[in-house]
Amino acid sequence: MGRLVSLGELVSVRNALRNTRTRVVFTNGCFDILHRGHVEFLNQAKSFGDVLVVGLNSNASARRIKGRNRPIVSEEDRAFIVANLVAVDYVCIFEEETPLKMITALVPDVLVKGADWGVGEIVGKEVVEAAGGLVTNIPLVPNRSTTDIVNKIVKDFRDSG
């Protein structure tokens, strides 16, 4: 089994880790046009535990929440890139708009999102806290976002013509 896994494989891994005092951290996102902010976020998320699981929005899921022109990078490529980052142990693609199904199946010890999400808004908060887990958010790296990159590309393209 590699780092890119199905939900069934991930549940098996989680069940095996439950008895080993291994702290499982979960986060999710689109991770479209991977940039420094993403990498710093994932590194910080990993610092909350031993194993970092990333739920990755599928192409259809990303399109529903980000708009018809997104994602720019395919789910296969996004999954490959994220799965090969040092901090990331497992990546699982999900089709739904939120990772609630995945969080409910895994019940991670720690649930982490970026600070653009208030702790009370984090999907899966109730599931994790009911099991005694931690739900938290991490400050974002200023001026680092996929939207900023896309806007710069569009501006530079328009300015060059």
- Write the pLDDT tens digit of every residue in 95-135: 999 999 999 999 999 999 998 888 999 999 999 999 999 99
Q: Is residue 1 part of a domain?
A: no
The one-character DSSP state at 32 is -
Rounded-to-5 percentages of helix, strand, coil across the chain: 45, 20, 40
Single out the residue of 5, 62, 51, 3 nearest to residue 27, CA to CA.
51
Domain CATH for 34: 3.40.50.620
105: domain range? Answer: 7-160
| Global confidence as pTM | 0.91
Q: Is residue 2 part of a domain?
A: no
Instruction: Write down how long the chain is.
Output: 161
Query: Domain count of the chain?
Result: 1
Using DSSP's 3-state secondary structure scheme, residue 112 falls into strand
